[in-house]
Amino acid sequence: MKTPFRIILGLFCLLVAVWLVMPTLVIIPMSFNEKKSLAFPPSGFSWQWYENFFTNPDWLASFFNSLRVAGLVAVAATVIGTLAALGLSRMKHSGAGLLRAILITPMIVPGVVLAIGIYAVYLDYQLVGTTTGFVIAHTMLAIPFVIIAVSASLEVFDVRLETAAASLGANRFTTFRTVTLPLIAPGILSGLLFAFVTSFDEIIVALFITSPYLKTLPVQIFTSITRDADPTVTAVGTIIFIATTLIISAGLIISSRSKRS
Amino acid sequence: MSQTSQISTAGGENPRPAGGAPASRRRPWLAAYPSLLAMPALLLLIAAMGYPLLTVTLRSFSDPAWGLQNYVWFFSTPVNVTVLWRTFSIAAWVTIVCVIAAYPYAYLMTAVGPRMRLILILCVLVPFWVSGVVRTLAWVILLQDSGIINSLIRLLGFDGVKLIRTQTGVVIGMAQVLLPFMILPLYSVMRGIDLRLVQAARSLGARPSRAFLQVYLPLSLPGVFAGAIIVFILSLGFYITPALLGGPRSTMLSTLVQSQVLSLLNWGRGGAMGVVLLVATFVLLALAAPLMRQRHKQASRS
C-alpha cells in the first residue's frame, strides 16, 4: 500500500471514529455544567444535575421503574429465549430456519407500528401503565437478542460432550445441568445483559403504554428533552453510560475467563 | 399423548428402553419434539406481536367503516405521499452515508494489528451501549445553531449552517446510530477475504486500483448488501431521532402514524399508515433474502 493512500485512509477513519464516539464524549462534560442550558461548551463546574437526579422524585421513580421492569424482563426473556435457542439447535428438519426467522422478527418490525398495536390491545385489556404490560412487551422485544446470543454459544458447543455424559449414565436433566448449562453459560449471561439493556433502553413502545403512574427512564428523558430541556438528562446519560460500561466490561471479563478455563 | 406412543418414540430414539421412573419417561418426548422448547417464545410472540399487528391491520380496514377508505385517503393526500417518499429518501441517504463511512473503516479494521483493531472495534461498540435517547440528546447539543459543529464551521471562517430541525441533521444523527449495523457485517465478510487473491492480481500486472475493483470489491459486496439492507430497513421505522432532530420539513412516516393515533385518535388512518410501513419493510426483506442466502452459501463454501 502506498503511503499517501494510507494517510488518507487513516484520516478518514479517524473522522468516522470521532463521529461515532463524539456524542458520548459530549454528554459527560455537559453534565457538570453550572448553567441551566444545553449550550456547548459548558461553563463552571457543579454537581447540581446529579443532585437533582437523586433528589427529584420524578427522576428517581422512573429510574426504579426501569430497573424493576428490566430486571423482570431479563429473567423472563433469558429463560424463554434460552429454551427456544436449545430447541432450535436440536431441530433437524428445515422448519428450524423458518421458526428462527419468525422468532427474530421483533427486531425488524417498525417500532411505531408495533407500539400502536400493543397500545390498542392494552387499552382493551387494561394493561396500559402496568408493570405486567411493560414486562410482556419488553420480553417479546428482548427474546431475539437472547436467542442470538445463546445460539452463538450453542454453535461452538460440542454435542459429543452430552453423549459422553449420557453414556456414563447421567440422565438428560443431570446432563443439561452439569454439562450443557455451564458450557453455554457465557452465552446465557450475555443474553441476560442484552435483554436487560433492551428493556432499560426501550422507548417507542414505552412512550405509548406509559401512564402518569408508570413512566420508565427513557420516557422521562424524552419528555424532559422535548418539554423543558432540563440538563438533568446529561447527568442521567452519564450515569447510564458509566453503569452500562461497567456491566459490559464485567460481562466481557467473565466470558473471557470462562473461555480460558 | 398415549402411553404407548411415548414408549415407541423412546424405543426409536434411544437403543436403551426408557426406564420406569417418571422423570425419564418424559425426556424422550422432548427429545423427539425439540421444537416444543421454542413454544413459549412463539406463544409470547403471537400474543405480544402477532395479535397487536393483526389488530392494527384490521382497524385499518374497519375504522370507522369497513372498506379501503383509509388507504384511498392515504395515497390520495399529497402530504402523505410526500412523507412516504421522504421516508424512503432519508433511508436511502442514511444507507449511502453508512456505506461510504463503513467501507474504509471496516477495511482498516482488517488491515491493522490486534491492538489498533481493538480500539477501532471499541469505537463501534461504545455507541451501541449508550442509550439511544441519550445519544440523540447529544446530537441535539452538537447540531444546535450554537453547537460545536457550527462553532467549528465559523472558526474556519464560513457562515453557520442550519443543522437541527433539518433533513441533514436527521441523516447525520440516524447514520451515526446505524453505522455499527453496517460496519460489523462488512468487517465479518472482509475478514474472510483471502488477500492472496489481490496479491495474485497484482503479480499478474494489475494496478492497485484495478486489483481492488476487480478482485477485492466484488468479494466484499455481500457484506455491503447485508449491511445496507439492515440499515435501510431499520431507517424506515425510525422514530426518536427524526422526532428530536427533525423539523416539520423532515417528518417521517413513523411520526405521522404516532400523531394520527395519539393526537387525532384516528386508528383507521394511523393503522393504514402503519400497514404501509410494515408491508414496505417485509417486501424489502423478501427481496433481500435471496441475497443474504447467497452470502451464507459463499461463507459455507470457503
Each domain of chain B, given as residue ranges in start order, spans 69-301
| CB within 8 Å: B138 and A27 | yes
CB contact under 8 A, A39 and B144: yes
Dist. CA A78–CA A72, nearest whole Å = 10
Rounded to 10 degrees, the C-alpha dihedral B200/B202/B203/B206 comes to 120
Q: Is B274 on the interface with A (CB under 8 A)?
A: yes
Residues of B in contact with A190 (CB under 8 A): none
Give the chain B residue nearest A110 (alpha carbons).
Answer: B237
With CB atoms and an 8 Å threshold, state whether B45 touches A143: yes
**How close does chain A come to B237, measured CA to CA in Å?**
4
Give the residue-averaged pLDDT of B233-255: 90
Distance in angstroms (rounded) separating the CA atoms of residues B136 and B243: 10
pLDDT-based confidence at A171, cuts 50/70/90? confident
Q: Which residue of B has its CA nearest to A117?
A: B52
In this predicted model, what pLDDT tens digit does every residue of B176-204 receive, in sequence order? 999 999 999 899 999 989 888 988 998 99
Query: Is the Cβ of B38 closer than 8 Å to some Cβ of chain A?
Result: yes
Q: Is A27 on the interface with B (CB under 8 A)?
A: yes
Output the average pLDDT for chain B. 84
pTM as predicted:
0.87
How many residue pairs bridge chain A and chain B with CB atoms within 8 Å of each other? 252
Instruction: Please state, in angstroms and rounded to a whole number, the distance separating the CA atoms of residues A138 and A144.
Output: 11
- Across residues B272-289, what is the average pLDDT? 92
Considering only residues 234 to 263 of chain B, which have any Cβ-Cβ distance to chain A shorter than 8 Å?
A: 234, 236-237, 239-240, 243-244, 254, 257-258, 261-262
The sign of the torsion formed by the CA atoms of A68, A74, A79, A83 equals: positive
Residues 40-79 of B with CB under 8 A from A: 40-42, 44-45, 47-49, 51-56, 59
* Residue numbers in A near B48 (CB within 8 A): 118, 136-137, 139-140
- Residue among B38, B233, B243 minimizing CB distance to A88: B38
Span B13-47, pLDDT tens digits: 444 444 444 444 445 566 678 888 999 999 999 99
**Cell numbers describing residue A221:** 428523558
pLDDT digits (tens, 9 = 90+) for A192-242: 988 998 999 899 999 999 999 999 999 999 988 888 778 899 999 898 888
B-proximal residues of A, 190-219, CB under 8 Å: 197, 200-201, 203-204, 208, 218
User: What whole-number distance in Å separates Cα of residue B165 and Cα of residue B179?
Assistant: 21
How far, in Å, CA of A206 to CA of A204, rounded? 5
* CA A54 – CA A187 distance, rounded (Å): 34
Nearest-CA distance A94 → chain B (Å):
12
Residue from the list A13, A27, A113 with its beta carbon closest to the beta carbon of B277: A113
Whether the pLDDT of residue A46 is over 50: the answer is yes
Per-residue CA distances from A205 to A111, B176, B181 (Å):
7, 22, 22
Residues in Cβ contact with B161 at an 8 Å cutoff, skipping those fewer than 6 apart: B150, B153, B168
Residues 6+ apart with CB under 8 A from B262: A208
CB contact under 8 A, A118 and B123: no
According to CATH, the superfamily of the domain at B69-301 is MetI-like (1.10.3720.10)
- Give CA–CA dist B286/B269, Å, rounded: 26
Does B120 contact A17 at a Cβ distance shorter than 8 Å? yes
Q: Residue B69's pLDDT band (boundaries 50, 70, 90)?
A: very high
Q: Do A108 and B49 touch (CB under 8 A)?
A: no
As a whole number, mean pLDDT of residues B243-272 equals: 91
DSSP structure string for B25-70: HHHHHHHH-GGGGGHHHHHHHIIIIIHHHHHHHHHHHHSSSSSSHH
d(CA B30, CA A87): 9
Question: Cβ of A38 and B37 within 8 Å?
Answer: no
Contact A139 B44 (CB under 8 A): yes
Q: Which of A161-175, A211-225, B166-180, B230-244 has the lowest mean pLDDT?
A: A161-175
Q: So what's the pLDDT on residue B18?
A: 42
A244/B contact by beta carbon, under 8 A: yes
Please name the member of A2, A90, A117 whose beta carbon is closest to the beta carbon of B56.
Answer: A117
Contact between residue B143 and residue B164 where contact means Cβ atoms under 8 Å apart: yes
Residues of A in contact with B212 (CB under 8 A): none
Ramachandran assignment for A174, one of left (phi > 0), alpha (psi -120 to 50 degrees), beta (any other):
alpha
Q: Tell which B residues from 90 to 149 touch A, by Cβ distance under 8 Å.
A: 101-102, 104-105, 107-108, 111, 120, 123-124, 126-127, 129-142, 144, 146-148
Q: How buried is residue B119: exposed, middle or buried, by Cβ count under 10 Å (0-12/13-18/19+)?
A: exposed
The three three-digit cell numbers of residue B99, written as one number: 456505506
Average pLDDT over residues A37-66: 88
Q: What is the mean pLDDT of residues B118-143?
A: 85
Q: Is A226 on the interface with B (CB under 8 A)?
A: yes
B212: closest CA of chain A, how far (Å): 12
State the average pLDDT over residues A122-137: 96
Name the DSSP class of B238: -
Among residues 154-173 of chain A, which lie with CB inside 8 Å of chain B? 171-173
Q: What's the one-letter identity of residue B271?
A: G
Would you call B137 and A139 a contact, using CB atoms and an 8 Å cutoff?
A: no
Q: Do B48 and A136 touch (CB under 8 A)?
A: yes
Return left, alpha or beta for A44; rule: phi > 0 is left, psi -120 to 50 is alpha, else beta: left
How close A66 gets to chain B, by Cα (Å)? Answer: 13
- The answer, yes or no, to whether residue A138 has pLDDT greater than 60, is yes
| CA dihedral of A129, A134, A136, A139, whole degrees rounded to 10 | 170
